[in-house]
Amino acid sequence: MRLLALCAGALMLAGCANVSISGLSGDAPPAKPKTILVSDFVFSSEVGGVDRGYTAKLDRKIGQFPTFERKQRTLERINDEIIATIVVTLREAGLEAQTGNEESLTLKDNALLVSGKLRASDPDAKINTVGFGTGRGGVVADMALSHLSSSGKRALISFTAEPSKKPVVTPPARNTAIMAVVAAAGSPAERLSPDVETPARSLGRAIGEKVIAYARDSGWIEKPAEPEPKKPQAKKKPAAAPKPDVDAEPKD
């Protein structure tokens, strides 16, 4: 069973400038990478995941497992759900993306590495209120983008993303694509409960859209054409009143 880091240490963001996703300072962005790798998240200790419906499905599939493993298995599945959503979001924008990490790369590769840490948005949040599941929320992702090539590893930018507060509906085709990435990663195919799946996908979507914004600013993909401004419609002049007929004889 894969074990995720649960706040065992700080995320390796050293060297990443805390700059806006919309602009870079210093060196110019690198050329378009051949692939984008999205790695496992680091979970801060306050971020929990409770999904009794999901763990019950696992019980029926593989047999009952110890209670102390439930949180870890749930967080692993949440991790894969967020990553899969990021990957699908990037692919929809025309970028080559997949799950992976730095260990699978060599200096001959030309890749963008997306890594991140999940933490509480409010450092003073109460215990057992941060995370995924009923009564939980307030999770944000501190993300870092790094470029790996024959020239070595180069830190690009860092940013923070949070789930959308508006309800997000996943189209059927996107749902199928996300589940395919989850399965390819070796994660159980059982669906998470809506109160866990929805915020996880919303966070993944938010992260993916920020990576796409960086890709557009870097010239890796075309920026969407701006709609032409609508021309103001000319106001119609009121119809002139009919002129009186001067030749008409007056009535008695």
Euclidean distance between CA atoms 185 and 182, whole angstroms: 5
Q: Which residue has the tokens 């915020």?
A: 199
* pLDDT by 10-residue block (mean), the chain, 252 residues: 50 38 59 95 96 91 76 94 98 96 82 97 94 96 94 93 87 96 93 96 97 96 74 67 60 55
Query: Do the domain assignments include residue 16?
Result: no
Is 139 within a domain?
Answer: yes
CA atoms of 2 and 10, how far apart (whole Å): 19
**Structural domain contains residue 6:** no
Q: Kindly state whether residue 15 falls inside one of the protein's structural domains.
A: no
Domain annotation covers residue 180? yes
Query: Is residue 235 in a domain?
Result: no
In this predicted structure, what is the pLDDT of residue 129? 95
Is 3 part of any domain?
no
Main-chain phi, psi angles of 165, to 5 degrees: -85, -10
CB 133 within 8 A of CB 49: yes
pTM, rounded to two decimals: 0.81
Report if residue 98 sits inside a domain. Answer: yes
Measured in whole angstroms, the distance separating CA 69 from the mean position of its chain's CA atoms is 27
Q: What pLDDT is stored for residue 82 in this prediction?
A: 98
Q: What is the span of the domain harbouring residue 81?
A: 35-217
pLDDT of residue 224: 73
Count structural domains, the chain.
1
